[in-house]
Structure 1
């Protein structure tokens, strides 16, 4: 009987020693506390030094409640969100003061030990330092708030199913949806079918291979939803713990409605400025244009007077051939006058930006037709060096001719303070490297280096009656077409204006 009891006691001691060994070797802090509000340390394993900085002897007898962060001390009493209860054990996540004075985050699972009458005797706790985890979660929560508050559209998309697993508030609002009533579930619903199969798939593939993709792909908006948006960036997220395969994509888009409206307003203003510039140009050329029209009108008047005299002098039958010939000449001159008026009306007409195909050589010749009288008044000779392949340009014809007119008139005016008797203006066209290049050259006194620096700035002009907007508007027009306009001069032997516009087929 006594031997059996002794064996049992030995087994209990051996088992207790094993549990103590396990407790001493554990990386978690295992502690016993008084079942009082002071939560006094009764016993603790050596892990306390790694976790809290105290030695075992230092912390035993210490009031554990005093080490709680003031905001977390009553978590258990308040049943805070950080407290969870399961099968008689509480798990609490809280801030606790380290020996050095700073706070760390502990996650503690505790159980209250009671006597036979149910009175609490002590509390056993297993605690671990979860500071890194809490900091990471805090950073994630901050990031989540930033993502939710972002004006950009942010969406998460499953790599395989293309299902949208998350949309931020901006994405819901821009797409005309609500979190409670989501109308977009899959990525392909955001795009036209051909765009999804080409541009979007290419973007996803590029992100999968290189990590990120940057670009611009238009999003299909719901009907009657007056918004414009596009995706700008795709980020591929891989599973770094397993097979490094893409798990999901972050898709970042932007509502560009305001930007689009601003661009439309700027375009309208540019068109209006270009129109005003054309009106000013026609006003400046009014004398020459009047002379252009007066010539055919004077010829018509002379032919009419001659025909009337013949009718008065003799029988109509004898004069019929001469009168018929006069009518033909009158018709020709009337057509000439009508063509001048038509060309002028077309030039000053207010129009929207519209690309059409036209022959640039023909436009060069037509523009010179406006300036024949002005050229005659200034003793100007026009020389053409036009590309023999007669290239076609896809652009706004009226605006390109407006640029040509401005440059040719500048070339004519370059001779106003020049004593040279031979005054050529050379117009050149050529097709090279995907661009149609046009040059207008004069042999006047040239432009100084300082003048070249400010040549295209608005409201700067050497003319007494000019506004200084012609070259600035011309540069804007060419840049709108994706081209360049520039000038070259040595300040002595004339000036060459060049502009080039890319050739497009559609």
Structure 2
């Protein structure tokens, strides 16, 4: 029986099993102890067990204190660092049991040691990975919801808590339908049932835009992606949800801005035309008034009743002609110097906002874009909508100029210019513009487009000059054309 017990103890090679006498000297040493600690039986029998402790533990009296604790309590268990024969340390799971005879006399101690260094390292690695995963899930913009095959929620990320307004404890164990509007719940349940019965996917593995419901009842648009995994034969679904509210609001603002810019473009075009017409019509009106006045003077103070009536009619006609001229002069004055929406604006923000509209569709057109926007230029005193209209016009012109070009690269840049101005540049790699045509580009009705009216660049010049800047075009360094315009920086009085 004792031989079989010895074989059993020696067979437990993953455990160091040994005995100590009441003074702490080693009396029995198994093969597992030799494998874990490095000493063979001949080397260790009779040695004090403090040899297994670190010098600092020995100096602190820990070996004797451990035996005292085991003697009083009958047995102690702990995790502690131990020393091998080669001096290396390992983390050990330690059990010390006091061995007593039938009359209670202490006969010694039994010790069981297990090396748990790798186990603890693996557990720590798993813990670190879990912590890293949790930190990622806590910071990603998408909400994450985990549910079982019946739609019962088992995990609800912190982003989901913020998005939906529920705490995780409020939703765990409840059906995911609680996060959907009434109209979506039945549809979702039907899709899930169909998938479980037939395997036909409707939502899983794809991204779709739908509607969700917050805890306060507010419905909001979301982008939903659902993945599936099978664990132990059980289906687990994970939903990743992105709130599209801000995107929808940005789209709405973009459409509103586009509408305003189109409106300003039309108003500016009409204003330019009105100013031109006022200038052109004023001269013939002045001539008409002069001819009427001259004819009336030629009649003089005639006594003929008919001529007197004709003279009075001529005088009235001349007065109305002068009145018409005055109305036109006022219209021109209003167009040239009317009320404006001038405000202090950051040029980089203004340009970035305009380019987000002007660059719509460039990727589909195969155009690459380089933007060099100096964020430190400071503020300008401008009508934001009008300056953005100029920039959008120049960008769209550049895109059209490269429609058939083999190389399509658009550059947009801001930089300080002379005389306290900021310069904005838009360049293309199109066919370029002939120097003679370039000189009159900014004149009304001058155009290089077959279907163009020739008013866009004229309006741009009117806007920029009204801001105290200038606009011009020059040949690009690698072909194409670069348009520049300047606007003054805001002064201290502004």
TM-score range relative to shorter protein: 0.3 to 0.5
Structure 2-normalised TM-score?
Answer: 0.44
